[in-house]
């Protein structure tokens, strides 16, 4: 994809970037309601100074971010991040991470944000600064073509696959069938689909974004149960307190929604604009 196909003119963002830099230069240390000094938020300035944004991602999460046949990490989130970095005048660095250790990688400074269709849960909001949501995601059950399962209650006594370290695990644990099922965790959704094909598991609980991408990109037949567990929203995760970086990136994404370029990227991966940016 040519980045120039999508996004606004750089000149439109020049004023925004200048204003953000000026704000950072004069803000100093903010004070809380008790008058105590707080640490200055220089997260945006740090990224601009090093001239790169390092995003942490699960490289096995199509269509948000994954390794294609040529060995490149591609996906919906990657395309959006490329445009954002172009507007900021910096390079995008795609850094695969172990999803179970994402918070540690973020807090250690190894990555600047987690940008990979991450669910915006209350628990994550406690330990990260989250952007506004940009996609909605429903957790659904997928079964193979020969399955006799018709609804969620039919899964009792069955083995269900989930992605380890994801919010899917917590959602399944909170479900009404959890005590009556076996759970197989794997860090790769693609591997779970292969396990389903091979009969190693009876169903997968997976987010709808990934599920429909897999279903429509293969000749195999799958069925989606009418029951779903929950609806979630996807957001970008930053270190707690990194508001200036979060706000700058979100401002650009909002502009992309307004000019239609965000919708064009969505259509490339999903066939329609499923983004919920306002």
The CATH code of the domain at 137-232 is 3.40.190.10
The pLDDT assigned to 21 comes to: 46
Average pLDDT over every residue of 108-120: 95
- Domain positions in the chain: 3-135+235-270, 137-232
* pTM of the predicted protein model: 0.70
162 burial type by CB count under 10 A (0-12 exposed, 13-18 middle, 19+ buried): buried
The pLDDT assigned to 7 comes to: 41
The pLDDT assigned to 102 comes to: 94
Contact 174/122 with Cβ under 8 angstroms? no
Q: What is the pLDDT confidence band of residue 30, given thresholds at 50, 70 and 90?
A: very low
CATH architecture of 3-135+235-270: 3-Layer(aba) Sandwich (3.40)
Quote the tokens at residue 208: 């709808």
3-state secondary structure of 195: helix
Query: Hey, do 3-135+235-270 and 137-232 end up sharing a CATH topology, with the first three levels equal?
Result: yes
| Mean of per-residue pLDDT scores for the chain | 86
Average pLDDT over every residue of 45-58: 97
Q: What is the pLDDT confidence band of residue 217, given thresholds at 50, 70 and 90?
A: confident
Contact 66/74 with Cβ under 8 angstroms? yes
Q: What is the pLDDT confidence band of residue 190, given thresholds at 50, 70 and 90?
A: confident
Average pLDDT over every residue of 97-110: 94
Using the predicted structure, report yes or no on whether residue 2 has a pLDDT greater than 60: no
CA 242 – CA 248 distance, rounded (Å): 11
Between 128-142, 221-235, 240-254, the lowest mean confidence (pLDDT) is in 221-235
Q: What is the pLDDT confidence band of residue 38, given thresholds at 50, 70 and 90?
A: low
Using the predicted structure, report yes or no on whether residue 187 has a pLDDT greater than 70: yes
Between 8-17, 26-35, 57-66, 224-233, the lowest mean confidence (pLDDT) is in 26-35
The pLDDT assigned to 123 comes to: 92
């Amino acid at each position: 994809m040519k980045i120039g196909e999508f996004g606004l003119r750089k000149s439109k963002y020049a004023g925004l970037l200048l204003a953000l830099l000026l704000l950072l230069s004069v803000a100093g240390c903010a004070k809380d309601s008790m008058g105590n000094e707080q640490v200055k938020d220089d997260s945006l300035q740090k990224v601009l100074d090093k001239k790169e944004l390092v995003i942490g991602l699960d490289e096995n999460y199509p269509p948000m971010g994954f390794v294609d046949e040529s060995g490149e990490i591609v996906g919906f989130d990657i395309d959006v991040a490329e445009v954002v970095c172009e507007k900021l005048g910096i390079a995008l660095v795609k850094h695969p991470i172990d999803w179970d250790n994402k918070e540690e990688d973020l807090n250690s400074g190894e990555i600047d944000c987690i940008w990979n269709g991450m669910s915006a849960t209350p628990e994550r909001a406690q330990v990260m600064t989250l952007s506004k949501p940009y996609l909605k995601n429903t957790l659904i059950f997928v079964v193979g073509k020969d399955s006799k399962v018709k609804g969620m209650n039919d899964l009792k006594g069955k083995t269900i696959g989930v992605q380890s370290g994801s919010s899917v695990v917590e959602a399944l644990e909170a479900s009404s069938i959890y005590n009556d099922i076996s759970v197989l965790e794997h860090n790769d959704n693609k591997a779970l689909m292969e396990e389903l094909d091979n009969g190693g598991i009876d169903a997968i609980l997976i987010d709808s974004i990934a599920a429909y991408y897999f279903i429509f990109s293969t000749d195999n037949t799958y069925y989606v149960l009418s029951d779903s567990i929950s609806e979630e929203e996807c957001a970008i995760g930053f270190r707690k307190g990194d508001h200036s970086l979060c706000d700058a990136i979100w401002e650009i994404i909002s502009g992309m929604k307004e000019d239609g370029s965000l919708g064009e990227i969505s259509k490339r991966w999903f066939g329609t604009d499923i983004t919920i940016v306002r």
